[in-house]
Amino acid sequence: MSKKEVSTDQLLTNIIRGIEDVKGQNIEILDLREIENTVCDYFVICDGTSNTQVNAIVNSVQKVTSKALKEKPWHVEGSDNAEWILIDYVHVVVHVFQKHIREFYDIEGLWGDAKSVKIETTH
């Protein structure tokens, strides 16, 4: 493969930057590497205040990671109603929720065994 391998740390850094650029809230990283049979290494979870902001967060994440790392997601799901959009970068899966949907599904609770890091935002 001739394409330069992008590190997971670089990807996480740029995903967080994309979320922060459009004021995504309650950013949390779940480290799934020590849990058996997981679909990826990390979840990045955040929320927006409306479907417009959820879409803006998703667009910003894709723009930042594409520009900085030449990375495009393998798959994006949920854009139709923008209550919960999933961006799959294979090793990192980003979940962008509207706040009430995030509370309902409680991914952090479902993956309670994962190491969790909350990202402090400046807004």
Per-residue pLDDT of the chain (123 residues; tens, 9 = 90+): 334 567 999 999 999 999 999 999 999 999 999 999 999 999 999 999 999 999 999 999 999 999 999 999 999 999 999 999 999 999 999 999 999 999 999 999 999 999 999 998 766
3-state class percentages of the chain: helix first, strand second, coil last, to nearest 5? 35, 25, 35
Which domains, from first to last, does the chain contain? 8-112 (3.30.460.10)
User: Which residue type is seen at 41?
Assistant: D
Output the pLDDT for position 123. 60
Q: Are 63 and 16 in contact (CB under 8 A)?
A: no
Cβ atoms 61, 87 nearer than 8 A: yes
Assigned token pair, 113? 């065994």
